[in-house]
Amino acid sequence: MILTDSYYCGEASSQIIYKTIGEVLAQTVERYPDNEALVVTHQGIRWTYREFKQQIDRLATGLLKLGIEPGDRVGIWGPNSFEWVMVQYATAQIGAIMVCINPAYRLHELEFALNKVECKALVTADKFKTSEYLAMLQNLAPELIRCAPGDLQSNKLPHLSTVIRMGDDSTAGMFNFADVCAMGGDAQLQQMQALARELRPDDAINIQFTSGTTGSPKGATLTHCNILNNGYLCGNSMGFTDQDRLCIPVPLYHCFGMVMGNLACLTHGATAVYPNDGFDPVLTLQAVQDERCSALHGVPTMFITELDHPQFGDFDLSSLRTGIMAGAPCPIEVMKRVLSDMNMKDVLIAYGQTETSPVNHITLSNDSLAKRTETVGRAVPWVEIKITDEDNRVVPVGEKGEICARGYSVMQGYWNDEERTRETIDAANWLHSGDLGVMDDEGYVQVVGRIKDMIIRGGENVYPREVEEFLYTNPNIAEVQVFGIPDSKMGEEVCAWIQLHPGKSMTEEELKDFCQGQITHFKIPRHVRFVSEFPMTVTGKIQKFIMRDEMEKELG
């Protein structure tokens, strides 16, 4: 069918899975008990689905013993690990809401996230790279040092009572992860089995923070049905069977890892392979070779880093067939090399938002090179897409407008934020993405810009307003404007123009030092310019595009 209006509904050949994650896990274990479910190479973990379920049940019953109930928010903070994956499934089994906390968060962001959704418990790693998680928690909640585990009463984190730390060591005021897994008994096992009959597919099960345009992150609230089906569709698009093995170097705290990775595997009885706690090109290529992975996920920056590594030619990637590239546009030359040098003939491009669980567009395995580099594909099954003008009217094919989505994948809303939920989801249940797109007569969409001026750095979303709001907390800064400029490696880099208060002084290094430890590293401005004024229209509106053009010229 040739389209004339920019509206397309994804065609479905099967029914939506209307079950909970726990129900689907039990079914997969029954069907594929001896298939490998989880391989975490850097931790020496290799579990079949039967073994995986046993480990999940141990953690789930331990959480019940600690008093975690359906609807309680349980934060997870740390890099990729088997513990992270266990928390994802264990919380789902007992109806608790897992809150994904960016492993790069610092004090300012962590405090906001935990309090915004009123986390009752937090499962945390001890450290990762430059992040000393336990030290940061002790900074925010010094009461941990003298309280019994599970009995935290903190001034700054008033809702948080329980901290569970990963690793073998013990820390004052915190439970040890392994000890929690050993706590549950017959009573908790019966409680978990009873809960399985009560939980519903439309229950909220996950909160993912997405950076806000008004200065603070928003907690997108997602259900079993939301993320389970999105994972299922990603697996279907890749042609997954129970024999596939997916290498997942992308972070678990993001939908890419936990939905497009974990749940794509779960719904097909496939194997999830984690090569490291964070992205490492050599360890990723090593895992693909050693584990004979048939699929590999990543943002374009990851694929570029792998392809350009001096050791790339040392690895046998002949087992690869497919995978998903998302998070940023893929340059055509990179796509050519992924298809040929990495043997990923069926690699797919996906696009969406955290608020849509996340994928609402995907290419097909037989799409042309042009479709896979110039578009983000078409609407996935069960999802409607339209491109609208400023009056919310559908525009003709070929005209630019806002990309809107409606369907099973749209979030319940932003946690405890009705106003911003209504700004994003309209009365007809259309989610407004803030992205500008153009639809062709086959339904393929090209993303051409962003209404909200978001920066995408290496696959990470950075909202200028959020960075600006933080920089305003510096007493030397009178006004600041943050925007993105193109970068050959990261896609975009963060740039800040800053106007200081009269009589105040600051260097670029001092500004970056101010940000260190307070906001995530990828939000810290890479380029800084101190100015006496900003380019403005006659009506006083600041013109960021002029600043962007000037910086591009200055940096060549």
All domains in the chain, ordered by first residue: 46-218 (3.40.50.980), 457-555 (3.30.300.30)
Q: 196: how many CB neighbours lie within 10 A of its CB?
A: 15
Longest Cα–Cα distance in the chain: 72
For 106-133, write each residue's pLDDT tens digit.
999 999 999 999 999 999 999 999 999 9
Coil/strand/helix, residue 471: helix
H helices of 341-392, where?
Answer: 369-374
Output 440 or 447, whichever has higher pLDDT: 440
Angstrom distance (rounded) from CA 205 to CA 229: 13
Residues 359-378 have a mean pLDDT of 95
From residue 57, give the alpha-carbon distance in Å to each of 89, 187, 197, 492.
9, 13, 16, 43
Residues 363-385 have a mean pLDDT of 95
* DSSP character string of 232-281: HHHHHHTT--TT-EEE--S-TTSHHHIIIIIIHHHTTT-EEEE--SS--H
Structure confidence at residue 538 as a pLDDT band (50, 70, 90): low
Structure confidence at residue 270 as a pLDDT band (50, 70, 90): very high
Q: 50: how many CB neighbours lie within 10 A of its CB?
A: 14
Coil/strand/helix, residue 47: strand
- pLDDT tops 60 at residue 211: yes
Angstrom distance (rounded) from CA 188 to CA 62: 8
Structure confidence at residue 397 as a pLDDT band (50, 70, 90): very high
For 15-52, write each residue's pLDDT tens digit.
999 999 999 999 999 999 999 999 999 999 999 999 99
- pLDDT tops 80 at residue 482: yes
Structure confidence at residue 212 as a pLDDT band (50, 70, 90): very low
- pLDDT tops 80 at residue 277: yes
Is the pTM of the predicted complex or chain greater than 0.85? yes
Structure confidence at residue 214 as a pLDDT band (50, 70, 90): very low
Average pLDDT of the chain to the nearest whole number = 94
Angstrom distance (rounded) from CA 301 to CA 287: 18
From residue 358, give the alpha-carbon distance in Å to each of 130, 221, 261, 292.
29, 12, 12, 27
Residue with tokens 């792998």: 306
What is the pLDDT, as a whole number, of residue 537?
A: 62
With residue 97 as reference, give the H or E element that holds it.
strand 97-101
- pLDDT tops 80 at residue 377: yes
Structure confidence at residue 528 as a pLDDT band (50, 70, 90): very high
220 φ, ψ to 5°? -70, 125
- pLDDT tops 90 at residue 451: no
Angstrom distance (rounded) from CA 291 to CA 457: 30
Structure confidence at residue 464 as a pLDDT band (50, 70, 90): confident
Residues 53-68 have a mean pLDDT of 98
Structure confidence at residue 215 as a pLDDT band (50, 70, 90): low
CA-based nearest residue to 109, from 207, 210, 216, 208: 216
Residues 400-412 have a mean pLDDT of 97
Edge-first strand order for the sheet with 36-40 is 45-48, 36-40, 271-274, 245-247, 295-296
Q: Residue 364 corresponds to which tokens in the numbers above? A: 């097909």
